[in-house]
Amino acid sequence: MVTVYGMSSSGNCYKVRLLLEQLRSPYHWIEVDTRSGETRSREFLARNANGRVPVLEFEPGQYLAESDAILFYLAEGTAFWPAGRRARAEVLQWLFFEQYSHEPYIAVARYICVMLPAGHERRQELPRLHERGAQALAVMEAHLRQRSCFVDEAYSIADIALYAYTHAAGEGGFDLAPYASIRAWIERVQSQPGFVPMPSVAAP
């Protein structure tokens, strides 16, 4: 059985939980609070030198970091990872889009709004985060206008990766009302077998 080191309220960690639940794959979850400095401890850095959650312990003492690489590891050989070469590359295209053009704006805005004290100086970053995050949402909205899922009409880890922070974008001050195709896709993700919601944020 694999072990996940994760913070439940983190979207990046939730991706891994959601896939494991949908795979009906048993797992052990060890809660790590990134806000208390746990990810900077010598013990944690031995698991991931980059000091981030989630980390997957896939064999005793063997670790894998980066949420979307973990999704790939768990999904290979299952219906959540496509059989065709082009489709596989397209799933990865969306995973890299998520980590480069989406998460640094939509997840960071949520972090500032719900995990930092009200009036924190980082709130001055919000206008830029909202502008860039809206660009990512516009790309997703256009893509989903004629599609049910991100790649080839088949639910995959691309949908899981993008769902994590998109469905919670409102917590970062984004209004999803103008994005009808995204909202319909969010409902489709939530109706998938084995779906579990993202745990809410614990008070700091």
Positions that interact with its own copies (CB under 8 A): 49-50, 52, 58, 62, 64-70, 72-73, 76, 85-86, 88-90, 92-93, 95-97, 99-101, 103-104, 139, 142-143
CB closer to its own copies, 46 vs 202: 46
Output the smallest distance, CB 136 to its own copies, in A. 8
Q: What is d(CA 19, CA 163) in angstroms, rounded to the nearest whole number?
A: 12
Rg (C-alpha) for the chain, rounded Å, is 17
Let me know: does 163 contact 132? Beta carbons within 8 Å.
Answer: no
Output the smallest distance, CB 99 to its own copies, in A. 5
CB closer to its own copies, 79 vs 142: 142
In this structure, how many other beta carbons lie within 10 angstroms of the beta carbon of residue 166? 28
Output the smallest distance, CB 191 to its own copies, in A. 26
Let me know: does 142 contact 134? Beta carbons within 8 Å.
Answer: no
CB closer to its own copies, 77 vs 197: 77
CB closer to its own copies, 132 vs 192: 132
Output the smallest distance, CB 50 to its own copies, in A. 5
116-139: b or e for each residue (b if 16 or more CB lie within 10 Å)? Answer: eeeeeeebeebeebbebbbebbee
Output the smallest distance, CB 202 to its own copies, in A. 24
CB closer to its own copies, 100 vs 195: 100
Q: What is the dihedral of CA 15, 72, 180, 139, to 10 degrees?
A: 120
